[in-house]
Amino acid sequence: MKAVILAAGRGTRLEPVTSDMSKCMLPIVGKPLLEHILNSVKKTGIKEIILIVGYKKEKIIDHFNDGAKLGLKINYIEQKEMKGTAQAIGLAKLDTDFLVLNGDTLVSFEDINNIVKNHKTATTIGVMKVENPSNYGVVKIENGNVKAIVEKPKKFVSNLANAGIYVFSPKIFEAIKKTKKSERGEYEITTSIEILIEEGEKIKGIELKNKWSDIGNPWNYLDSNNTILRAMDTKIEGIVEENVQIKGTIILGKNSVIKSGTYIEGPVYIGEDTVVGPNAFIRSFTSLGNNCRVGNAVELKNSIINDNTNVPHLSYVGDSIIGKNCNFGAGTLVGNLRLDEKSVKMRIKDELTDTGRRKMGCVVGDNVKTGLNVMINSGRKIGSNSMIGPGVVIYQDIPKDTFVVKKQELEMR
């Protein structure tokens, strides 16, 4: 069996961290999200992969090449215009049954395997109970058979979401040809599946048993980082100086150094060539990329900090995502809790969205610099290449390529 992975999308809800890469390339614990997906697929015995690529495809192709390094055979199909998941799958044109996965969804190997091994009908779909079904394709199931599938329903249909993992027979290609544009203006695979149901085909729904994350929003990216970190074992390839306290699991990459006086509460991931400390406090579910610097009196918690970024002195970063090549001036602080303790809101595609989290920090793009004593309020975003002058308090989102300075009136006596 071959696997088709849909990786052409841009991930606008994750801006600004996706301004320079497709969301399937977002690093999670040292590997792009897509690599975690490919490793799980490979464990099922599937070796031949078709990657549907589009946005920033060069970076995907550069990284995975022909797949030989992962023990896979990868072929690429370019989706020139993003017209929806049905159009993307339709490009694969296969004549035997095949597995399909969304390239932005983490599914465990056990669940993929279970769906592949139990595929006996025209289509098998992985489903998952969710709290907010209106954000998904929702599936109505009777005795294990899918009776209806409704994309992003406005009224409650069921709390079982389509998890974005399917095994299709070639019958799906006929249904894709008959698929009309949805009210969202896309050719959606859920419409094609609905056509198969109307034509009397048997569609099986299998509930996933393990944690599943769809990396749509920044807070889902943090959740996925947590899921992967939780499953890791300690591996120390770098140097740990004397008087460092380590509790829980830690992965420390080659040539990295944890300097004296540092306190680490795992699970924590630290990439290669990174220096932490002296006297830093790294709390659980933090992932630090390669070639980062985290210095004296810096506290990091539940955050993703990407390659070549420095948080060198007297800073706090919690529940946040920081891009590549950033530099935080001494005293830069991130707020992650509202004073009224209500859930934090974040602007996603111009809409103020409830993150559902009591604690959520900021999202910062690549190449951002902050001056001394910058404060970033909870739920705020700073676009790539922006510079924030000393003493600025970030109460609103800052677009990319912006230089923000604070005006102050001084009284001279």
For residues 28 and 224, the answer to whether their CB atoms sit within 8 Å is yes
- Closest-CB residue for ligand UD1? 137
Residue 129, number of CB atoms within 10 A of its CB: 12
Nearer to ligand UD1, 208 or 252 (CB): 208
Among 18, 40, 158, 162, binds ligand UD1 (CB under 6 A): 162
Interaction with ligand UD1 in 184-223: which residues (CB under 6 A)?
188-190, 214, 216
Alpha-carbon distance 214 to 80, whole Å? 24
Nearer to ligand UD1, 60 or 264 (CB): 60
| From 4-12, 62-70, 239-247, 300-308, span contacting ligand UD1 (CB under 6 A) | 4-12
The β-bridge partners of 140 are 148
- Applying CB under 6 A, does 103 fall inside the site for ligand UD1? yes
- Applying CB under 6 A, does 136 fall inside the site for ligand UD1? yes
Residue 166, number of CB atoms within 10 A of its CB: 24
Does the active-site annotation cover 63?
no
Residue the block writes with tokens 């795992």: 266
- Applying CB under 6 A, does 300 fall inside the site for ligand UD1? no
Nearer to ligand UD1, 40 or 286 (CB): 40
Nearer to ligand UD1, 101 or 250 (CB): 101
Residue 366: Cβ-neighbour burial (10 angstroms; 0-12, 13-18, 19+)? buried
| From 3-11, 289-297, 343-351, 389-397, span contacting ligand UD1 (CB under 6 A) | 3-11
Alpha-carbon distance 226 to 30, whole Å? 13
| From 156-164, 222-230, 290-298, 358-366, span contacting ligand UD1 (CB under 6 A) | 156-164
- Applying CB under 6 A, does 224 fall inside the site for ligand UD1? no
Least distance (Å) between residue 135 CB and ligand UD1: 8
- Applying CB under 6 A, does 104 fall inside the site for ligand UD1? yes
Alpha-carbon distance 178 to 191, whole Å? 9
For CA atoms 181, 182, 187, 193, the dihedral sign is: negative
Interaction with ligand UD1 in 247-286: which residues (CB under 6 A)?
none
Site mask for ligand UD1 (CB under 6 A), range 34-63, x = bound: ------------------x-----------
Residue the block writes with tokens 């690599």: 35
Residue count, binding to ligand UD1 (CB under 6 A)? 28
For residues 360 and 379, the answer to whether their CB atoms sit within 8 Å is yes
Q: CB-based contacts of 75: which residues, under 8 Å, 6+ apart?
A: 48, 49, 50, 51
Among 18, 40, 44, 79, binds ligand UD1 (CB under 6 A): 79
- SS3 state of residue 273: coil
| From 29-37, 78-86, 113-121, 311-319, span contacting ligand UD1 (CB under 6 A) | 78-86
Q: CB-based contacts of 147: which residues, under 8 Å, 6+ apart?
A: 140, 141, 197
Alpha-carbon distance 10 to 8, whole Å? 7
Nearer to ligand UD1, 187 or 328 (CB): 187
Among 15, 35, 111, 151, binds ligand UD1 (CB under 6 A): 151
Nearer to ligand UD1, 214 or 299 (CB): 214
The DSSP secondary-structure symbol of 302 reads S
Q: 362 φ, ψ to 5°?
A: -120, 170
Interaction with ligand UD1 in 304-363: which residues (CB under 6 A)?
none
For residues 230 and 213, the answer to whether their CB atoms sit within 8 Å is no
Nearer to ligand UD1, 57 or 358 (CB): 57
Nearer to ligand UD1, 46 or 252 (CB): 46
- Applying CB under 6 A, does 102 fall inside the site for ligand UD1? yes
Q: CB-based contacts of 27: which residues, under 8 Å, 6+ apart?
A: 33, 287, 289, 304, 306, 307
For residues 309 and 326, the answer to whether their CB atoms sit within 8 Å is yes
Radius of gyration in angstroms for the set of CA atoms belonging to the chain, rounded to a whole number: 23
- Applying CB under 6 A, does 2 fall inside the site for ligand UD1? no
- Applying CB under 6 A, does 14 fall inside the site for ligand UD1? no
- What is the distance of C-alpha 271 from the center of its chain? 18
Q: Is the peptide bond before 218 cis (omega within 30 degrees of 0)?
A: no
Interaction with ligand UD1 in 362-381: which residues (CB under 6 A)?
none
Alpha-carbon distance 194 to 380, whole Å? 39
Among 31, 42, 57, 83, binds ligand UD1 (CB under 6 A): 83
Q: Which residues are catalytic?
A: 313
For binding to ligand UD1 (CB under 6 A), which residues are involved?
Answer: 6-9, 52, 79, 82-85, 87-88, 102-105, 136-137, 151, 161-164, 188-190, 214, 216
